[in-house]
Every structure is written in structure tokens, then in C-alpha cells.
Structure 1
Amino acid sequence: MSSAVGAAISQCKWLWYRQAEPRRLQDLQLFDDASRGPFGAAQLLVSLRARHLAFLGAVIAILILLFDPFLQQVVVYPTRLVPSEKPAVIVRSERYGARSYEDLPLPSVVDLSMKASIYDGVFAIGNDADRNIQHNCPTGNCTWPEFSSLAVCSRCENITSLVKKACNSSGCYLLSLPNGPTLSGLGGQINATVTNISSSLNQIQASVFKFSTLISKRIKDPNDAYAMECAMWYCVQTYTASVEDSVISQRVVRSWRNDSAKLDQYSDLIYNVSAVDPNARVNSTIFKVSHLAAKALNSFMSETFTGSGGINNTGSAFSSDVIQALYNTDNLTARLDNLAVSMSNNIRQQNDSVASPSHGTAWKGETYVHVRWAWLSFPVTVAALALAFLVGTIIETAHRDILVWKASNLALLFHGQDLDLKNPPMIHVNRASQMAQMAKHVKLHLAQTPDKDWKLVQR
């Protein structure tokens, strides 16, 4: 394209001098420089100022500088994720019936793995228990469709408005909840009990456990005291999960609970989702919690979350580490949510012979060729202008009956003004081929005249 544009600009030189008005000899050099590159084309632009067809050629010669950069942007080689042949799995559960390592039922104690999950959920600095769920993502980037599993749900209500204060002229000396925990004095104290105080959680049959806590941290400030009531229960949750850069994240899409499920000495907790809610979208109809496991967990949680403690100028004393963790937490609701997720993970990771893990897609990176067609607009426009300029030059040359001499130096020598090179009689050298043939028989010499000028002399 550059060669064609350069040749057309050279031909425009003869169109320029074919006009009725005489042109400067200097323009010969301008046209010649413009046909060789963008710098000369810029000089020709300044000189012509859109007065001739060659102006378009000079513009194209400059635009061609950007042709390759734009063309290089057309094709790129990004990476995209495509399904891998390796499977991705994540655990789920339909049954919870804790057993010992000897596969014996545990009627009165909670298995050690569940205890570890409970402590981890309470003591964890960050509320990121969902990242501890057991999964297998061989590529580090995986996704799973919706799947359902037996889980533990939680909810906390602020019942500070129910706190009663006993005060005198010296200040408040007793804080209490109806039928619940009490604090003697103010500042640095916590008291938690397994009681049913408010009616806001009564509709939830807390099949795991329910507790209330009263906390006061500031000395001599009764308005600092606050109370919370929390409940935890077994539920069926529907999840979506994904792994990105080897970091897993889960999202609960739906949660379903059975308000009629109650702890019983001999009956398991049955969660027949489809029987109660035909519109529930779960990939299993029956979820079950062993009555032995449920009773053991209820007993352990009730004991663990009952206690008191406090701090003063001489030190601190708490009935258990769990109570101390509850006292130090800034957001009890978030702490209970993290505990519920940690316990749910444990239920899902136990050996459930009924439920199979949820299978997802493991994604792997693939490099592919991507054509960005928008970047072709500039090269196509320049090519179209170049073609139009070339065709326009051809048409103008034919219309003005000018021979195709383009950048030929022989045309200047054979047809220049007052040059010494004379044609033999009856021989025409108008065409480029004729000039080339004649030039074979003409010999020149660059000599210095007596006037110290330099001149081509024919010999």
C-alpha cells in the first residue's frame, strides 16, 4: 500500500505541472520527498493546503504510520476458562448421627470432631468458617450448581429493652432479665443461661439449643448493658459454591426449617422437605438427625454456653473460655452465624453413607485467538482511501492525457528545459519504456564548467 501511494504521489507531480499555471521548480523536490515517506508528505501537506489530489495522498502517507499499530491490536490471545475433564466435588449430608471411631453410637457425648468445630466457630478471629468446608477442586477454579444439605442455622435477637435495673442514689447495683441471667453491679461482667425469655424466637423449635446472655462492660454505666437471646436449630440449606484462585466461597440460596421437629428421647428428627413444602427445590426429600446425636449435642451446647465471668482491677475470671469469647466479641450475631457454619461443615463432612457429594465443574485456563473487529476500522479506512487515491490518480492521468512517468528521473532528463540531451531524429521517448531503452545508449558525465558549476555532460 505504501508503494502504491508513493507511486501515485509521484504521478501527481506531473498532474501538478500539467496545469495552465506555471509551478515552482521547488515543488519537484517536495513531491519526490512526499513519495518517499511521512516526513516529506507532511511538508507537501503544508505546501499544497488541499489544493490538489496529491494532498489526499500525503494524508494517507502519514496515516500509514498508524496502520501496523492498529493492525496488531486486531488479534489478541487471551485466556478463558473451559471445563476440565477432572471432576470437582464438595461434601453434603442428608443424615447426622455422630458415632465413635469404633462405629458405636454416642448416646451421651459429642464426638471430638464436632467439639473442635464448635470451638473453632466460637474462637475464630475472622468469621470465615465457610472456607473450611471439605472440597476437591483440582484446577483451583471450580463452580457447583445448587445443592442441598443438612445444616445448622442460627438467629439472635436484641432483648436489651427487657433488662431491668435496680438503682439507688449511689447508682445501679443490679441488672436482670425476667427469668434469666443477672449482673450484680456494673462493668466487666457477663452472665449466660439456657432460658426462654422473649417470645420473638418462640416460633423456632430450637432443636440444637437456645440461650440468653447479659453483658455490661463499662463501669458505672447502666446504659452500656445489653442482652441477646440466640437460638440454633437443624435446617436444610441450599447452597451455591465456587472456588476462585484456590479460595472457596459459599452462598446460601434458600434455608428451610421444620418448626414441628422437637427433641425426643426415642425418635429421630425427620425433615421431609417435599411433604411440607412441595415447591421446595432440594435434591433430596428426607433429611434426618439421629435422636442420640441431637440429645448429646443439645446437652453439650447447653452446658458450654452457660456460665459467667468478668474483669476488674485485679484480673479476670470466667467460668469457661467460651464465655470469655462471648464477652470479648463485638458482634454476637456474627459470632453465632460463624458457629452455625462451622457446625454445618462438620455435619457435611462426616461419613454419610446415604448422601453423595455434589459434583461441579473444574475450570482450566485455555489460550485462544480473539479477533477484535473494531480495531480493523482504521486499517480498512486507510486502505479504502489509498485505493480511492490510486484510482483517482489513474482517472485524472487518463483525463489529462498524461503519460505514466511517476518517479522516473529519465523523464526529467529527456523532457527537461534546455538540457543537452537530444533525441536522435524520428525517435520518440515519451513512454517510460522508450526512455529506458534510449537511456541504454546515452552516456553522461558529471563535470565542472569553467564557471565552477556542475553539469551532466553527454559523451
Structure 2
Amino acid sequence: MASSLACMAAIVAILVTTKDRPLSEWDFYFSIPATLAFLGLIAKSTAAIGVGACISQYKWLYFKRKPRKLTDLDLLEEASRGPLGSLILLARRPMGLASIGAIVTLLAMAVEVFVQQMVQFNPRDVVFDDGKAVLGLAHTYNGGARPIGVVTTIDSLRASTADRSMQGAVYRGLFNLDSPSVFDCASKCQWTGTYVSLGFTSTCADVTDATLRSHTNASATWNGTSSGRQEDMNLITPGGVNLEAVYSATSWQTVVSVGGLSRISSDQVSNASGDEPVLMPPDIARIAVFRTPVDATDWIIWADKMEIVECDVEVAAYRYSNLSSSGSELTIGDVEMVRLDPGTVTIDGIHADMLMFDQPGLPVLQARLPDIAALAQLYASTRFIGSIYDGETPPLPPGGLGDAFRSGNISRTMQDMANSMTDQLRASREVKGDGQSIRQVVFVEVEWGWIILPIAVQVISAAFLLLILVQSARTKDLPLWKSSTTALLTYDVRFSEDENGVGNLGTGVKSLKELDALGESVKARLELAQHGSSTATAPDDSGSPSIKGLEAHVYPVNTR
């Protein structure tokens, strides 16, 4: 029983020390389930030895108290040998404390299963600072554009040096194409800090009514009664962007018209060569989009159906926080666009070079003026502005990027373009935001509820042992012979006529020392009784020997 309790204590110790720990920390030769199963087997087996011995000892107590049927001796012996005998004992004739031992023997069969069921292995997400989680950011935009003249103006850029990747980002955003990756992560990652990056933004407003109010005779021009002269069908938005809204009734019409102009002041840039610092706003360009549904019957543009949206594109800052990634997807929990105040123009030799934003709460952000000018030039050129027509005989081929605005929300499309440009800038990883990798690690989890049965088996076994020891000690002339077969051979059944068929189990061996000496000094041979002969009989009512109904009780005799 001491060995059994020690094994159970070892099981509990293993579970306590490994609970909520990574499985990889277990470096024993055998796995945790194998070790627990082995300890559970030893705990069960050693407890079964103690319980079996106690059941064997109990038979002496059982027969000492009063006469019992001799078949009970077999039941107790079988119960002491294992689960089957215990089951038979409980089914046929429960016997006091022996029934407790039988129940424990049966419950002990499940100890190994319950012990193994206590431990489970489940993967968990674990954070590692391994340097493999990198978030792309940028505090400087340097696309490589170069000026021709002394100072940077819209007209002095070398077109061949314009940042083609950023111009490609404009097209990607307008047509909803994939942007380059802005982070590195092996599998799953997280970024728990706040990260700032230079980027771009777009601010849009619906200016349909304001634009029409500024047009002369707008109601006549776009209600089907106009003379149809093209020069009468130009629009100017409140921001000064020119748009076309031309149609020829029954023939063709404008569907989308895109206009743009630069917001960079050449005069401000030119003055940057002076001694005084020059401030310049982060504006890049102003873009306007006219859109109307197709009238496939009359090809007329109706004033109540057209839509005019004006957008300003500018440099901005972004704050990102609560970021995570899984696979190729980056999830940004919180993003804040921060508008930039006018920045300071810096001089590189004789050229206006950087537009620097040193704003409280933000790192120093910079954008090269030639690259900003190149973007402004793109938005004001026929590569971006132009019209899309529909009808039988349109006057000109389609021009510009009007196809990007034929459907969907215009403001959303413009912001998608700005986001694509921001991603292109961040993809340079000019600044890196370090995050944490998340990997699945198998942890040991313990379900303590399963330990109830093993502990119950241990407690009941120990209590059963103590009860048998106490009762054996209190019973006079009862040696602790337990399951000794030699002890059983020294007993015989004796009858007397005044006992009414109750036999006495008696032996002349009164101590373990005598029993050991007897076992060493006496030799025996198995001799089968002749057919028809019998031993240990009890008289029946006619006086003839009979085994039926024989009962006996144990008492020691001095006769050898």
C-alpha cells in the first residue's frame, strides 16, 4: 500500500509540475501518457496485492465470529485473487468488509484509464520575439525624380525619372488590384504598439449642385432643349477643375469625365532658394469626376441624373495600432489618418529638395518635392484626365482613367487609390515596426475531475487495510496468516455429536514461526481419495455422514 500511495503521489506530482506547461519541456525518455500509465499500473497492482491479502486475512475473521458455510471460504479466496472472484462474491453473497475489498478490486480496473484521461494535449498560441514579424513603414518618400532646371517646378521635371512604382500604385488602387506586401510574417504575428507612417489620403465632396449653379443656362443645356453646341457644355467645379459634359441628342453622350490640376505652387517652390524658410501645404492635386448614366434611347445627359465629385489628394500621416496577421492577410484593428500642417521646404544645393513635416506627436516625416511634383503632373496629364463616351458616333476615342469610375462609389475609389499609394510607400520598409510571431505550441492540460476514482481507490484501499489490521489485532488467538496456503493445509474439520452439524476448523499451529518450521520440515504428496470415500463429513438426521448444509467455525486446538 505504501508503494501504491507513492505511485499515486508521483502521478499527482507529474500533473502539477507539467500542468499548463509546453509539452516540449518534458524530456524524460518515456512520454507523459506512458509514464502515467506505468505509474497507474503499479499503483493499481500494488493496491490490489494489499486488498487481496486483506480479503484473505478477513476469511479468518469471518469464520472466527460464528459458524459459516465452507463454500464461503472458496468465495473469499477467489475474491482475494482478482476482479472475477470479487464480482462473484458481490453477486452471490456479500460479506461485510470483504465486500468493500471486492468493490475496490473492481474499481481498480479503471485506474489506468482514468489516470491517462487526466492529461490532455492542446495547442495554444504563444508569442515569440524572434525578429521575424516586421511591419513596413515609411517616414520619407524618395522616389528618385530629378529636376531639369535650377528649382523644382511642374515644368522642370525629367519625366523619365518619375517614380514608376508609385504611378503603378495609382492604377492598382483605381482598378482594385493587389498591392505589394507591407509586412513579413512566417505564419501568424501581432503588433501591439502604435506605428506611424507617411502616406497619402483623399478628401472628396459631392459638388453637383454647386457646379450646376455656376453654369450658365444649365437647365436648358441638360434637359434636352440645348442647341447641342459642345462649347456650351463645359463645367467648372467650385475647386476650379474643368470637366466635359458633352452629348449629341440621339447620337452619343459623355458617360464619365475626369479632370485634374496640380496643387503645388511653383512660386512657393521657387522662393525656397531664399534665406527665409518657406512653408508649403501637403497638397498634391485636385481631381474632379463627372458621371452620368447612359441614356441608350435619346443619348441625352439629364441634370437630375448626373453626379460630380471633387477630391483633393495630399500627403498625410497614419497611426496604426492593434495589428495582426494570419497568412498573407494583415488585419489593422485601429487606423487614424492625421492631416499634416504645412511643411518646410529644404534646399539641396540650388534645388528645392525636401518637404519636411515636424509635427508634435509624430516623427519627422519628409517627402521629396520632385516626387510630389511628378504625382501632381500625372494627375494633370492626359494619362489620368479625359472622357469616356457611349453612343453610335462618339466624337473622340476614350481618354484618361474614366473607366475606373464607371461604377461604384467615387469617393471610395479615390481613397482606395490613396491607400494603394500608401502601401507602395510602406512596402519600401524604410522604417520597420517590430512585432511578435505567434506559433502554436502544444501544452499539457490537466482535467482534475478524472482523479476522483484513482484517489478513491487509494483511500478506500488504505482504509480497508487499516480496518483489517485493527480487527485482526483485536481478535485473540488469530495469527496474521493472510493468504497462506500452508496455513489452510494445517486446518481440519472436526465434528461432535452435540454440535448439530457444525464443524470446527482447527489447527495445532499457533504461530507464524511454527508455520514456517512446518513448511520447511514436512514433505507431502498428493494422494487422490478412492472412489466412494470421503473426508470431513457431518452426520445427517439418520446418522450417516453427509456434506450437505455443513457449517464450521475456526478455533485453535493443541492437538498435533
Same fold (TM over 0.5): yes
Structure 2 unaligned runs (5+)? 1-42, 213-218, 225-232, 238-242, 262-280, 346-350, 496-505, 537-560
One-letter amino acid of the structure 1 residue matched with residue 47 of structure 2:
A
One-letter amino acid of the structure 1 residue matched with residue 289 of structure 2:
S
2:105 paired residue number: 61
2:175 paired residue number: 123
1:112 deviation in Å?
Answer: 0.8
1:172 paired residue number: none
2:403 paired residue number: 324
One-letter amino acid of the structure 2 residue matched with residue 435 of structure 1:
L
For 1:101 and 1:429, the matched residues in 2 are separated by 118
Q: Note if contact 1:87-1:361 (Cα within 8 Å) is conserved in structure 2.
A: yes
2:339 paired residue number: 257
One-letter amino acid of the structure 2 residue matched with residue 271 of structure 1:
F
For 1:428 and 1:217, the matched residues in 2 are separated by 122
One-letter amino acid of the structure 1 residue matched with residue 337 of structure 2:
S
Deviations 1:58-89 (A, max 9, x none): 33333333332343343758676463655544
Q: Note if contact 1:237-1:255 (Cα within 8 Å) is conserved in structure 2.
A: yes
One-letter amino acid of the structure 2 residue matched with residue 404 of structure 1:
L
User: Do residues 429 (structure 1) and 509 (structure 2) align?
Assistant: yes
Q: 1:17 aligns with which of 41, 47, 62?
A: 62
User: Do residues 8 (structure 1) and 64 (structure 2) align?
Assistant: no
User: Do residues 151 (structure 1) and 202 (structure 2) align?
Assistant: no
One-letter amino acid of the structure 2 residue matched with residue 152 of structure 1:
F
User: Do residues 404 (structure 1) and 480 (structure 2) align?
Assistant: yes
Q: Note if contact 1:7-1:407 (Cα within 8 Å) is conserved in structure 2.
A: no
Q: Note if contact 2:284-2:375 (Cα within 8 Å) is conserved in structure 1.
A: no
One-letter amino acid of the structure 2 residue matched with residue 5 of structure 1:
A
1:385 deviation in Å?
Answer: 3.3
1:344 paired residue number: 422
Distance change >3 Å, CA 80–CA 167, structure 1 → 2: closer
1:257 deviation in Å?
Answer: 1.0
Deviations 1:357-407 (A, max 9, x none): 33344566767x746373673344443333233323323333445533333
For 1:218 and 1:381, the matched residues in 2 are separated by 86
Which has the greater radius of gyration? 2
1:54 deviation in Å?
Answer: 3.4
Matched residues, number? 417
For 1:30 and 1:224, the matched residues in 2 are separated by 101
Aligned partner of residue 443 in structure 1, secondary structure: coil
Q: Note if contact 1:163-1:176 (Cα within 8 Å) is conserved in structure 2.
A: no
Q: How does 1:171-320 map to 2 (within 5 A)?
A: 179=237, 182=245, 190-194=255-259, 207-216=284-293, 230-240=311-321, 241-245=323-327, 248-258=330-340, 269-274=355-360, 280=361, 282=362, 284=363, 286-303=364-381, 306-309=385-388, 319=398
The percent of aligned pairs where both chains have the same amino acid is 19
Deviations 1:150-207 (A, max 9, x none): 0123455678999999668xxxxxx9999467586999984143489xxxxxxx9864
Q: Note if contact 2:296-2:391 (Cα within 8 Å) is conserved in structure 1.
A: no
Aligned partner of residue 233 in structure 1, secondary structure: strand
1:385 paired residue number: 460
CA RMSD of aligned residues (A): 5.1
For 2:147 and 2:352, the matched residues in 1 are separated by 22
Aligned partner of residue 473 in structure 2, secondary structure: helix
Structure 1 unaligned runs (5+)? 169-174, 197-203, 275-279, 420-425
1:372 paired residue number: 446
For 2:101 and 2:294, the matched residues in 1 are separated by 84
